[in-house]
Structure 1
Amino acid sequence: MENQLILEKLDRLEKLIVGSSKEILTVEDLINYTGYKQSYIYKLVHKNVIPFSKPNGKTLFFEKSEIDTWLLQNKSQSISQIEDKAQDYINTRKK
């Protein structure tokens, strides 16, 4: 049981290492990269929420840089970042 768990973790690590050097991801690569379930990825594709390509009308591909941008959209700012922006705004308005 313990050996099987170790082998599964090693397999996951190997996939992450190999996948991290790829610029174009398959569904399986995207599962390993994001941790999302396959059904959720297909749901996002079906609703055109996630950027993807389907060059042959069958196989899905994802550009890693586009996925990174998509994952980081709607970023929330910390209180200190908001305070810094407010202070910058106040400083520029005084001039």
Structure 2
Amino acid sequence: MENQLILEKLNRLEKLIVGSTKEILTVEDLINYTGYKRSYIYKMVHKNILPFSKPNGKTLFFEKSEIDRWLLQNKSQSESQIEDKAQDYINSTKK
């Protein structure tokens, strides 16, 4: 039982390492990269929420850099970042 768990973890690590070096991801790569379930990925593709390519009309491909930008959209700022921007604004209007 313990050996099976170790093999599963090694397999997951191998997939993560291989997937992290690729620029173009398949659905399986995207599952490993994001941790999203297959059904959720297909749902987002169907609703055109997730950026994808379908060059042959069947197989889905995802550009890793586009996925990274998509994952980081609607970024929230920390209180200190907001305070810094407010201070910068106050300093710029005093001139």
TM-score (norm 2): 0.99
Give yes or no for the alignment of 1:93 onto 2:93.
yes
Across the two proteins, how many residue pairs are aligned to each other?
95
Give yes or no for the alignment of 1:37 onto 2:37.
yes
The percent identity for this pair of structures is 89
CA distance in 1, matches of 2:76, 2:37: 24
Q: Kindly report structure 1 stretches of 4+ aligned residues shifted beyond 3 Å.
A: none
Runs (5+) with no aligned partner, structure 2: none
Specify the SS of the correspondent of 2:16.
Answer: helix
CA distance in 1, matches of 2:80, 2:45: 36
Runs (5+) with no aligned partner, structure 1: none
Partner of 2:2: 2
Partner of 1:46: 46
Cα deviation for residue 47 of structure 1 reads 0.3
Partner of 2:23: 23
